[in-house]
Each structure stands twice: as structure tokens, then as C-alpha cells.
Structure 1
Amino acid sequence: MFFSSRALLNTSLCSGLSLLALTPACVLADTTDNLMNRSTLTGDWGGERQKLIDKGVKLTGDYNSETFSNLHGGIKHGTRYSQQVRIGAQFDLSKLLGTADAGLVQITVNDRRGHSASEDLVGNRLPIQENAGGNFTRLSEFSYQRTLFSEDLTTKLGFMPMGNDFGGLPLLTNFVNAGFCAHPLTQSNGSGWTNYPTGHWGGELRYTVSPALTLQTAVFQVNPEYNSRSSEAFSMTTKGTTGAIMPLEAIFTNNAWLNGQYKVGWYYDTSNTRKIGSTQKANNRTGAYVLVDQAIWRDEQDPESVLRAFGQAASSNAATSPMSHWYSVGLVKQKPFASRPKDSIAFAYGRAVFNSRSRDVQEAAASSPEQADMIASLDSGEQLLELNYGAQVTPWLLLRPDLQYIIEPGAFYGAKRSNALVAGLQVKATF
């Protein structure tokens, strides 16, 4: 086997638990509340946690692991484990400085370890584990946020992933595959757009026009190489900057009984990027997306029991992006049983469309006419089905058994591979 699952799990748990040493000594001795009912694993630290919050300091931490086995198809059978540990601190400057509307400072450090089931076992493009990749400790966010002139206008400046505040739906964190959770992959595949945990320098502006409409925009550094290097994990570097990316997003909110949220966005990247299959460069990259989260049924006697539908449609620059389009639809049933108020059942279908220019390049590079014919016969994209059950065991512990079926897993790599069936478990714990 590629690695010892028990040894890796023990090492990973130790690395996660070692971060808890950063919290006060009273953490492990806290008996003021019940382990099964407290909101976090480590509780209130004998009252010290709440005292810090009252003074303006909020400390956070969480652990997320995803273990998947390939049961059929793909490259080979096997099991892979990946994990993420995140610690953070929020500083409410209004409380700390005794000054009204002084703003909020956010610091987040992320650590990822493990191996990718997509890379090692299936050979597909849409990552089976959303937390796989970039296996090192890094500074993910160091930002400052405050209102400007009125509560309706806010700004955020600093080093952070642009996707923290743009182009995502919170509902999609109910899924494990990165194709769904929680941004269309056309964004990061075809531009300088970055999602968590990769940070870049930037600034955001958000204006709440009304309870039903919010407009936001930003300018972020594009740095495709240096910010993914482990040697630059805490440098917040500007080296390697190729341009700037500017998103525009409108957020429509429906607060009716069957509520919903709808996002329409567009982005422009000023980077000069080589065109697919050409020596020429495009002087910009653009993309657009539409995201929908809509309640379609709600129990009148139990409003927490709700069925939500979502949809994503996204496109990216045809000249430079290997993934030209992404489409997905799905359902999330919240509170599936009266006795399980915080559980969920989620099902989704997605399709990532491979750029035909990239396919032409693959065919031209084939080593034989037979291989070229095989590549030409591949589907024009990869398809994905995901079904899972999110069990909120305690307020701080979530277990999510997950099943994924990948159709045409070799479509993006010019390889003929059988459709793959993978099964796994996601574990989320809040410190």
C-alpha cells in the first residue's frame, strides 16, 4: 500500500492536537460544560475563552480530514487520506482600543497534509477531496475590515484568498468534491482567481444597497507561482506578480418563506497568458458565473426542515483556460429527520467541459495515429455525481459518509480510464 493508514492517521492527529497546545492550560481541564453539548471540543476554557471575546480577541481552530477508497475504475484500487488544520484569531479593535467602529483584524494559519485520491487512484480533474493539495503550513489571511462612512459600505484590505468573499455558496460546503465545494473550478482554472487557503494581496469594497441587493468588487494581485511555494508560506510576497484580477459581483437575497440567494459575477485578469496551442499571448483573461441557492420546500410545522436546490453555471476564457465551462445542479435536505435537526442529505451532479483547443493540442502531441484516435474519442468533459449524509454528532463534530461516481475521469488528461466509484468519510471538528 502507498502508505500506512494507521501511521499517517496517528501523525496527523498528533499534528492537529499539537496546535491545541497554543491555547491556555485550562483547556483540557475544562469541566464547566458537557462534552457532548458544548459548541467546541475544548469548551470555554473555564470561562477564559468568553473573557477574551469580551475583550475583543476571538481564537478559533478546526480539523478536517477526508479519507477515500477507490472501489472501481480509475487507475487502481486503494485508499488515500488528507487533512487540514486551521487556527485563527480575530481582533475587534473597537473593544481593544475603546474606539467606535475601529474595525476587525483577521489572522488565519492553515496546514495541509496527506495524499490525493484523484491524483493517485482515479486520475481525474475534479478533486475528490476538497482539502487535498498544497501540503505545507502557510499564512492564509492577514486582513483588516471596517465600515466606511455608513454601515452599508464596508472595505477589507490585506493578504487573503479572493474566494473567501466572492463566487461561492455557503450551501455547497455540504459537499466534499472540490467541484461543488464551494466555487466553480473555471474561476481558478482559467485566471488568477484564488480560493482558500492560498492568499494574495488585495482590497475589497462591499455596498449593501438594500436587504435584497448587495454589490461588491475588488482588486487582487495575480501571482500564480510564488504564492504556491512552501518557501514563501509566510512571506506574503509580491514577487512573481503577473497582473491584477478584478471581480464584480451582485448578490440578490430573497427573504421570503422559501428563501434564496442568487449571485451573478464577472472578473477581469490583466495578466498576459499564453494562448492554448499558440506561441502568442492573450493580454487578459475573463470569466463569468451564475450561482443559485433556493429553498423549494419547507415544513410549515417545522421551518428547519427544508429542501434546498442549487445550480452553478460558469465560463472562462476560451483562448487560455483548459476548463471552458462548469455546470452543476443539486439538492440539500436540511433536518432530514425530526430527531436529527442539524443533519443533512446532499446530492449533486456536475460537468466540467474540456476546452476543444486543449484537446487539439493533445491529439497533435500523440505518439501514434492510434493514440490520437483514442484521444479524439474521449468525452468532451468530466462528469461527477456525489451523494452524502452529514451527521452532526455533537455541535463540534461532523461525520459525513460520502459516495462519488466519476464519469470519464481521464477526459482532461487524454487518457482512457474506466468510470470510477469512490467512497469515503469526511470528519470536521471545531476546537
Structure 2
Amino acid sequence: MKLVLITSDVFSRLVLFFVFLVMLFVSQSLKAEPLSPVLNNDDPNPLFHINQLQMPESNLDAGLETTPDQNQSIRKFQPWLEKNNATGDWFGVRDTLSKEGIDLGFSFINEVWGNTTGGMKTGSVYASVLQLATTVNLEKIIHWKGGTFYSRWLYLDGQDPSVNLVGDIFGVSSITGYSTIRNIELWLEQTFFDDKISLRVGQMDADSEFVISDYAALFLNNTLGWPAFIFTSIPNGGPGYPVGAPGVRLKLEPNDQFSFKAALFQGNVYPQNVNNHGFDWNLNSNQGYLYLTEAAYRYHCTLPGKIKAGAWFSSSTFTNFSNPNDSFPGNYGIYGIIDQKVYCPNQNVHQSDSKPNDIKITEVKSDQGLGVFHRIAFEPGDRNIFNFYCDSGLNYKGIIPTRNQDLLGLAFVYGLLSNQGISTIQQNKGTSPANTAFDIELTYQAQLTPWFTVQPDIQYVIHPGVTQAYPNAFVVGMRASMTF
């Protein structure tokens, strides 16, 4: 079994390296507008929702000058490079299944990380995740109006740079986890009243719908997805990637501007090496429950934006940091998120005939441009490591001419430790703790084809492990993603 896994790992790396070389050879001669997953406001994480792709127009003759022989060689690759998936339509089978109500999505994500200085030690690690997602439209299959079945499976492999190299609390990578085959989502959904109300029951990951910033979805640091102010505060990190949990979710969306969600999950998801396939379901009051609520409002004030406010409550039992012999019957926190577009290069501008100085932007015609995000959270310090947390950042889509779908991003993460949390860390680790944790991430996602992206990444980690025992770390990485 071990030999099979090693062989599979080596083969996957060779395949990815071959495809990368092909992309480098061909992409410079194609002026195709590469694709990127659409950042849907209600399903914002493009990493794990791999079917949200749309086809661009391309122009073979534009771009760098090429010889006739080179053009002929490029034309052989062009149909493949313009497909939505690397494996195409499977000779029509994929399209047939989709028309019948079954959509299959495969993705393979590889990362290589190197810690150049600081942290626990220098070195490099490799991590990957293979994903299979299945969406079944039950109305097409069995005439169940408004019904949907969804499942998502992961095969995780490799090492975690935070665990093996850096020792940080936020998490350098957002794809790592215990190496295994794991189910993360397995649910049924029913919609009512023209999709204005939906009820979802089954295994879910909360970070596909809750506590997420749309613009932060670009980044590779784990806390910019399922945030540290939650996963450090509830048993075993809660129902965030790579672990799901059974529960129920209700969503109300009366119009395009307003939405409200509430969910109840199993309170303890257990350690990943114990709940190693995702099916340690144990819904009972002794383990406690996790409750999440979130309201969102979309607006368009010159440029589009979205604001969210939410809260979480866990009914599990939590140690009182001020008195280890005492405990609290619950834990909670509140948070707010804002996503705002601040610049769009392709806008319709209207100038009033009666007031020449009255210029108004009437329509945003492109998703290109600069967007910013900010997320802030508060928690009680007597039972949590952090009592204040915030992250902020920006990303620019299409900053390089002819690279209209590429994304450049810069993000900052800050966590303020509670006084009680500092004392607890000092007792547990026997080291002098820091009172803050701070990360900076710079990243660039290049979409070379509709199904292939590469993303170099740099992170500077201040106070790894929220302790002064480790020097600040400078981490570099590369992600390559493929959809099949």
C-alpha cells in the first residue's frame, strides 16, 4: 500500500510538471483571456468549488510573432487549451450526464513550500489534495422539484509547512491536513418559493458559506479562509476544511440585496487522525453543538460591495483560563466582514448635459480592477487565545495588460492574544509568549488555461507559534491547480 501511494505521488508530480512545461511553451503565443473561478458572493471559495468556470474568447493570431510552423504546432494544442477541463467532455459523456442532472468535478492542487529563515527550522515540504465533487439535480433525475444532492471527497497527501517548518498558529497553507481519503460534504438541499428559502441537511463544511470574505478567497494562508479566531476557539477546529460535520442550515434570500443564514453543527469534529474519513458523527448534548448565524447586505454605491455581520456560539464545555479548575458552559464570538470594489478600469461614465461637472458611474461592465476586504472579530479572553482578530487586504484582477484574469493580492493578518491566553501558553509551552501574531502574504495567481493556474506566494510570519522562542519566518511557496 505504501509503495502504491509513493508511486501515485511521483506520477502526479510528473504529470503536473509536464503540463506546466506545455503551458509555458504555448501560453506566450496565445492571446486567450484565461479563466478564473468566479468569486460568487454566496459561494466564494474558488479553491473547492471547481465547476464555476466560463469560457473566454481567444485570438490565435494575436500576441507574439510566430512562424507558420510554430502556428501549426500551436493550433494542435489550442482546442485542448481552451477546454473548460483538462480531460474535456469525455467524448460527450460529461455533457450527457450534465443534461441528465449529474455534474462531476475533479481538481488536483499541488503546493511546494520552503521556509528560508526563522520558524522552527528551515527546509521544504510538499502537499497536495485531489478532490471529487458530485452535484445531482434531483428535479431532472426523479422530478423532485427544488432538490439537490451534493458530495465532495478529498484525498490529502504531503506535509503541513506550519507543523513541520514554521510552527505558526494561522496556517501557511489552506489545503493541508491529515493524509487520508475523507468526505467533507454530503448533503441534501431543498429550495422553496423560487429559491428564496433553502434548507440543507447533512455533512457540511461551514467555511463554504460562513465567515468568508469574497476577496480573501485568493490567498493561500489558512486563516484567510476558515479563520483562526474560530478554529482556535472550538473543539478540534470545528467544521472547516478539511473536516466537515453533520448539521442543518437554513438560508433566507428574499431579494438580491439581503440574505440571512443560520446553521447548527456537531460541536466536536474530533481530531483528524481519529475522524480520519469524516464519518465520526455524534450529535448529542454532551459533545455540544456549534451555532452560526450571518446576515449579508449587497449594495452598489458607485461600485459594488458587500457587508456581513455574524456570530457563533458553541455549547461545549471550555476551560476557564483564569482558573484551570473551573470551566464555562459555552463559548461565543462576533465578527464583521466588508468586501468593496474601489476601482474598475472598464466603467460606463455618464456626464450630465445640464451639469457638466456632475459625473456619475452608472454601470460596472467588468469584474477587473481593485477590490479590498476587511474582517474583524471579538471573543471573550477568559476562554480563548485571541480576544481580538482582524485581517485586511486587497487584490487586483487584470493588473498586467493581456492578462485580464490574473490576480495579484496583498493581505495582512493580526491577532491580539488575551492576557489569560498568554498565561496559558506560557504554562503549556514553558516559553515566553508573544502578545500578538502577525502575518503578511503577497501572492499572484496566473490563469494559463481555463483549467490550469499557477500561484507563487510569499509569507512573512511574525511571532510563529505566538511565542518568542521562534524567530520570524520568511516562507515562499508555489501552488499549481488543475481541473479535470
Offset of residue 98 of structure 1? 3.0
State the match for 1:27 in structure 2.
Answer: none
The answer (yes or no) to whether the contact 1:222–1:244 under 8 Å persists in 2 is yes
- SS of the residue corresponding to residue 379 of structure 1 reads coil
State the match for 2:228 in structure 1.
Answer: 185
TM-score, normalised by the number of residues in structure 1: 0.86
| CA RMSD across the alignment | 2.5
Q: Deviations over 1:365-404 (max 9, x none)?
A: 676xxx6xxx1xx531111111011100111011001111
Compared with structure 1, are the counterparts of its residues 363 and 107 closer, same or farther at alpha carbon in structure 2 (3 Å cutoff)?
closer
Q: Which amino acid aligns with 2:192?
A: L
The answer (yes or no) to whether the contact 1:351–1:382 under 8 Å persists in 2 is yes
Sequence identity (%): 22
State the match for 1:67 in structure 2.
Answer: 112
> Residue 123 in 1 paired to residue 178 in 2?
no
Offset of residue 239 of structure 1? 6.9
Superposition map of 1:289-300 within 5 A: 289-300=335-346
> Residue 43 in 1 paired to residue 96 in 2?
no
> Residue 89 in 1 paired to residue 89 in 2?
no
Whole-angstrom distance in 2 between the partners of 1:187 and 1:321: 9
Whole-angstrom distance in 1 between the partners of 2:134 and 2:463: 42
> Residue 53 in 1 paired to residue 98 in 2?
yes
- SS of the residue corresponding to residue 96 of structure 2 reads helix
State the match for 2:51 in structure 1.
Answer: none
- SS of the residue corresponding to residue 353 of structure 1 reads strand
Compared with structure 1, are the counterparts of its residues 152 and 366 closer, same or farther at alpha carbon in structure 2 (3 Å cutoff)?
closer
The answer (yes or no) to whether the contact 1:202–1:220 under 8 Å persists in 2 is yes
Whole-angstrom distance in 2 between the partners of 1:273 and 1:207: 32
Offset of residue 209 of structure 1? 2.9
> Residue 238 in 1 paired to residue 282 in 2?
yes
Aligned partner of 1:155 among 194, 199, 203: 199
Compared with structure 1, are the counterparts of its residues 42 and 11 closer, same or farther at alpha carbon in structure 2 (3 Å cutoff)?
closer
The answer (yes or no) to whether the contact 1:304–1:335 under 8 Å persists in 2 is no
> Residue 175 in 1 paired to residue 213 in 2?
no
Q: Deviations over 1:226-278 (max 9, x none)?
A: 6x345651535217861111111101112455111111001111112222251
- SS of the residue corresponding to residue 186 of structure 1 reads helix
The answer (yes or no) to whether the contact 2:214–2:339 under 8 Å persists in 1 is no
- Which sections of structure 2, spanning at least 5 residues, go unmatched? 1-5, 17-75, 348-364
Aligned partner of 1:319 among 379, 382, 405: 382
State the match for 1:386 in structure 2.
Answer: 441
Compared with structure 1, are the counterparts of its residues 147 and 33 closer, same or farther at alpha carbon in structure 2 (3 Å cutoff)?
farther
Aligned partner of 1:357 among 395, 420, 424: 420
Instruction: Report the count of equivalent residues.
Output: 400
The answer (yes or no) to whether the contact 1:169–1:183 under 8 Å persists in 2 is no
The answer (yes or no) to whether the contact 2:269–2:275 under 8 Å persists in 1 is no
Q: Which amino acid aligns with 2:258?
A: L
- SS of the residue corresponding to residue 51 of structure 1 reads helix
Offset of residue 430 of structure 1? 0.9
Q: Deviations over 1:57-104 (max 9, x none)?
A: 111111112211111222222111111111011110000013433x00
Compared with structure 1, are the counterparts of its residues 94 and 14 closer, same or farther at alpha carbon in structure 2 (3 Å cutoff)?
farther
> Residue 10 in 1 paired to residue 10 in 2?
yes
Larger Rg: 2
State the match for 2:411 in structure 1.
Answer: 348
The answer (yes or no) to whether the contact 2:453–2:482 under 8 Å persists in 1 is yes
Aligned partner of 1:220 among 265, 273, 284: 265
TM-score, normalised by the number of residues in structure 2: 0.77
Give the stretch that moved more between structures: 134-143 or 162-171: 162-171
> Residue 418 in 1 paired to residue 448 in 2?
no
The answer (yes or no) to whether the contact 1:184–1:312 under 8 Å persists in 2 is no
Q: Which amino acid aligns with 1:233?
A: H
Compared with structure 1, are the counterparts of its residues 234 and 381 closer, same or farther at alpha carbon in structure 2 (3 Å cutoff)?
closer
The answer (yes or no) to whether the contact 1:12–1:83 under 8 Å persists in 2 is no
Q: Which amino acid aligns with 2:175?
A: N
Whole-angstrom distance in 2 between the partners of 1:105 and 1:356: 46
State the match for 1:211 in structure 2.
Answer: 256
Offset of residue 358 of structure 1? 2.4
State the match for 1:110 in structure 2.
Answer: 154
The answer (yes or no) to whether the contact 1:215–1:249 under 8 Å persists in 2 is yes
State the match for 1:308 in structure 2.
Answer: 371
Q: Deviations over 1:182-222 (max 9, x none)?
A: 23221121125421221111111111132211111111111
Whole-angstrom distance in 2 between the partners of 1:256 and 1:381: 36
Aligned partner of 1:278 among 311, 324, 334: 324
State the match for 2:53 in structure 1.
Answer: none
Whole-angstrom distance in 2 between the partners of 1:325 and 1:111: 34
State the match for 1:26 in structure 2.
Answer: none
Whole-angstrom distance in 2 between the partners of 1:14 and 1:145: 39
The answer (yes or no) to whether the contact 1:190–1:317 under 8 Å persists in 2 is no
